[in-house]
Amino acid sequence: MKSTHRPPLAVVGVSALFPGSSDATGFWRDILAGADLLGDIPPSHWLVEDYFDPDPKARDKTYARRGGFLDPVDFDPVQWGVPPTILKATDSSQLLGLIVAERVLRDATREQFTTVDRSRMSVILGVTSAQELLAAMVSRLQRPVWVKALREQGLPEDEVQAACDRIAAHYVEWEESSFPGLLGNVVAGRIANRLNLGGTNCVTDAACASTFSALSMAAQELYLGDSDLVITGGVDTLNEIFMFMCFSKTPALSMSGDCRPFSDKADGTMLGEGLGMVALRRLEDAERDGDRVYAVVRGIGSSSDGRSKSVYAPLPAGQAKALGRAYERAGFGPETVELLEAHGTGTKAGDLAEFTGLNMVFKTDDAGARQWCALGSVKSQIGHAKAAAGAAGLFKAVMALHHKVLPPTAKVDKPNPKLGLEESAFYLNTRARPWIRPDAHPRRAGVSAFGFGGSNFHVALEEYTGAAPRPERLRTARSELITISAASASSLVAEARARVELLRAHAGAPELLAFVARDLQRRFDAGAAHRLALVAADAETLAARLARAAERIERAPQTSFELPDGACYGVGAPTARAVGFLFPGQGSQYVGMGAELAMNDDDARAVWDRAASLSFASEPGARVHQVVFPPPRFSDDARAADQARLQATRWAQPAIGCTSLALLAVLRRLGVSPQAVAGHSFGELTALRAAGALREDDFLRAARRRGELMEEVGGDAGAMTAVSADVESVRAAVDGHDVVLANHNAPEQVVISGATIDVERAERALAGRGLRFTRLPVAAAFHSPVVAPSTVPFARFLSDLPVQTATIPVYSGETARPYAPGAEAVRARLSGQIAAPVRFVEMVTAMADAGVDTFVEVGPGSTLTGLVGRILGSRSHLAVALDRKGVDGLESLCRALARLSAGGLALELGALWRGYREPRDPAARRKPRLAVPISGTNHGKLYPPPGGAAALPPPNPPRPTRDRSARASTERAAAPTAIVAAAPTPDHAPRTVTSAPAPAASSWIAPAPARAPTSAASMSSTSSTTDVPSTPSARMASSDAWLAAWREAQEQTARAHAVFQESMAQSHAAYLRAAEAGLGGLASLAGAAPVQLSPAPLVQLAAPQPTRAVAVEPSSRVPTPTRAAPAPSLDPVDVDPTPAVERAAPERVTSSAPAVLAAAAPG
């Protein structure tokens, strides 16, 4: 492979905040458990009631209602120098970014980051352009749109502005902090500011590949020597309806509401959120300074799809180009990569395209190499975290290399058949498995991230195997051992109850269970008179079990007990215990045995690693761990085939041996030393290894050869049957049949062995005597003459095997006595015991007679422990099994240690924590001066309300509307009446004055003359202008609400006009009186009679009647938002010049209101 080698980079710090947990430890635990971290949309983000519609084509709706969401994290604004008043103006990505960045820097500097030089530290993060706060602030600026729509709906202006004010109140206000608070680049900028980093700070956006675009830039900073440490990773907290709508209308989201990458049920992706960061240094600098190294970045490859059928359609060739470049720069080929964390979105087209690209790079060969690489995607657990998707995958791969575990991918019941996995380099790893690796090369992994627009990235990672210290393991054990001791029962009860109170007081605190376990183990004294030990998987369970145990002790403080939940109580000063180890034989094996221990204990896993370095001549390419920890299977037939392969003696015996040696390594670290050892059948070989008579590699080769020879028995391999009866009854029943009593396992359990036809005959004889029996699933008739031919070649094999003197007694199942000293005696006994009967009852009894009172079964299963109990009966003893099939391996181990501790056996319990971080005391944690819960959505968001949909007001009832026919008759009745002319005076010729015709009923009124354009300021809450509907159809859309308002305005106008007319009538009467007086004076001077004047007759105006709704152009000067349409104008009335004044009979002046003065005689 062509090399474009780059200097390796060390991952010296990690931090993660993803759905389901609050820290890196919790996230790694969830990954290993294959936990489903997707859930319903929380009402803090958006309301399903507002936006969900199962129809993918529904306008402005999404068909998704689930995703991955962060739990709230306490943010201390005082610590970070962020005024609480600006939290609502700061995107949550910036606030959570501070927390995660500080954690990764603390991890990288071993909590000493305040004393290190930060002038050349940089922060480069993958952050997409869109942030939640940006959308909120832009939405607040849409007031003109709201005003326009409400005015067009015909609402009165005061209601328009009030409604807009209420809408605006659902968004945070613009302020000085809004601009930086909504910018994506300030995620990095705020980190650099608050952590005082003097290097580069910026963000990159490559959509869903943003994390790796940032990683690539961070690598360049280190390659060029511009930075000495770079914090890089991805941040994405945008899971608002905006993002759901983006993916819904693509469409890319799952219709079934789940993310199932590479599954036959995959139908789309799901959205998630989160933050993940790593601290990078040049490897040579990290080693020089003694930094702890999690993993090594060997190569980063990038590419673009170039021209393709669409900007967002994945192109396999483009993706393959990025992978190829990564491995070129890494300096190793994909054939050495055993873990591939895929982009894996769960869309059928995307998965198929990605797998096609992978096959272009991970090519199988003609030699039959297939399915060597575990394939998975963390999106199956947390959904697609967009800009942080690569960060989640990178964290998973780095932790896998550091802990030497192949993590699972979730939700695959059956792979997509279109992938053709069986003919590829890949298998889907659906359960966590130990990552076993020989010394040929370090463990290697690849991680992909692909973004919209054809942006492709791949990172090649490698396990760190240098001399620098390793970081502590993250504790992910499913169970913890709890031990309490005291001088008195009352003191023990008090301590137990105090721990219950502590657990309740700090409920939910990280590492609470681990801290209590570690603290109590430190304090435990196996020699105390009262001892309580139990196992719990979580703090709540522990509190309940401690409370039950305390109550039981109070009732009978001097009585030892073991409760069904596993709590063990021991009373009395213990005597020194003599321990005997028992190693099981063939028949105890099962697929996956020892897996949990190998994944959590370096010493246990190292046994399997060493075994992986051994090759066997008969199958040079096969390794024992591949048989014990096979890839997951997806059919019953495939699983049965795996079990059958392990059943074969050539694999069963070395597999059982490795499992026993792994447990033996843990016991030695715990300080448990046996006074004697023994084994059942094959277990006798393991006992010799435990006693130091055989070296480990010699033992494993002997186990393999022994199994091969027992398979080579020609012809009928025979059969074995277990009989539930005492030995004398069985011997009598089978007397005369060609079978042997191969195993005497318990007082009432005997196993017969022989040729198949002879065993069948013996079974009929047993049935005839009413004895119960069961045919055993074994490969051959062990410990009978049937397998005797294998003893000779095995003896030849052993003759070349180095044998040392055992350091402790090794009991023989054939003689029920310890092995005789000397290598030849050991070889002879080992070769002969293949065909010799096993006298297990006599052997256990002999060990007990020699002083052994504590029997520990070291290997898979718990069969021997049960047999010891039946053999020794009421005789004082303690028998424990370290492993129980069907139970988590660590829980089984802890339960055994609990029984031993309560029994008074001193253990080095601190060894359980070797290589792990010490859990922190929750009471000693720094308490924030101000704790503000921050989740993925923005703090202080006003909608949705805290109560979700239940807190929303119900829909208002519609306004009452009138019947169209009734409205029409009202309009006809409302036609204006003619204006009647004033009554003629004696001096006038009568004439008639009429009003202008009433305008015809119409659905709209022609708009008023055009005004100057409305300014932007007129849209404010103090504005009183109203936009005129632009078309007749818009004006016809006026509502009944507008009609009611218009009617009220008309009535108000009529009343005001009536008062005006009354005032005018009174003024006119006063004028007439004055004129009459003046004219009378003139007349008297002329000798004429006084003149009497009468007022003009008043014309009555019909009361206003309702009309159809009309759109009106109101005056912009009118301050009130409620306006009446102007009344129809009256044409001017032509009036003749004033006639000569003539005498007339005096008339009384009258006034009536309301009235309209049509005309008045001049004075």
Give the catalytic positions in this structure: 681, 783
Contacts of 946 (CB under 8 A, 6+ apart): 43
Grouping H, G, I as helix, E, B as strand and the rest as coil, residue 1099 is strand
Amino acid making up residue 629: F
CB of 397 closer than 8 Å to CB of 447? yes
* Torsion angle (degrees, nearest 10) of CA 281, 287, 289, 290: 110
Contacts of 549 (CB under 8 A, 6+ apart): 496, 532, 534, 563, 567, 569
Q: DSSP letters along 181-247, please?
A: HH-TTHHHHHHHHHHT--S-EEEE-BTBTHHHHHHHHHHHHHHTTS-SEEEEEEEE---SHHHHHHH
CB of 1050 closer than 8 Å to CB of 1125? yes
Number of helices (H) and strands (E), helices first, in the chain? Answer: 36, 30
What are 235's strand-pairing partners? 275
Burial class of residue 317 (count of CB atoms within 10 Å of its CB; 0-12, 13-18, 19+): middle
Q: Are strands 295-304 and 455-462 parallel, antiparallel or unpaired?
A: antiparallel
CB of 1122 closer than 8 Å to CB of 1049? yes
CB of 280 closer than 8 Å to CB of 218? yes
**b or e along 753-774 (b: 16 or more beta carbons within 10 Å of the residue's beta carbon)?**
bbbeebbebbbebbeeeebebe
What are 568's strand-pairing partners? 533, 562
Cα distances from 50 to residues 813, 943, 948, in angstroms, run 75, 11, 10
Q: Are strands 676-679 and 579-583 parallel, antiparallel or unpaired?
A: parallel
What element of type H or E holds 678? Answer: strand 676-679
Cis omega before residue 251 (within 30°)? yes
Contacts of 433 (CB under 8 A, 6+ apart): 374, 405, 406, 595, 599, 629, 631
d(CA 910, CA 587) in angstroms, rounded, equals 34
DSSP strand E in 435-551: where?
A: 444-451, 455-462, 480-486, 530-536
Helices (H), 670-726: 683-690, 696-711
* Torsion angle (degrees, nearest 10) of CA 1054, 1057, 1062, 1067: -170
What are 339's strand-pairing partners? 374, 445
- Angle (CA) 892-912-491 rounded to 5° is 85
Q: To which residue do tokens 């591949």 refer?
A: 626
CB of 919 closer than 8 Å to CB of 74? no
Helices (H), 386-473: 389-403
Cα distances from 58 to residues 47, 245, 267, in angstroms, run 16, 11, 19
Cα distances from 760 to residues 770, 775, 782, in angstroms, run 15, 10, 16
Cα distances from 945 to residues 85, 672, 949, in angstroms, run 20, 60, 8
By C-alpha distance, which of 1018, 584, 1024 is closest to 840? 584
Grouping H, G, I as helix, E, B as strand and the rest as coil, residue 818 is strand
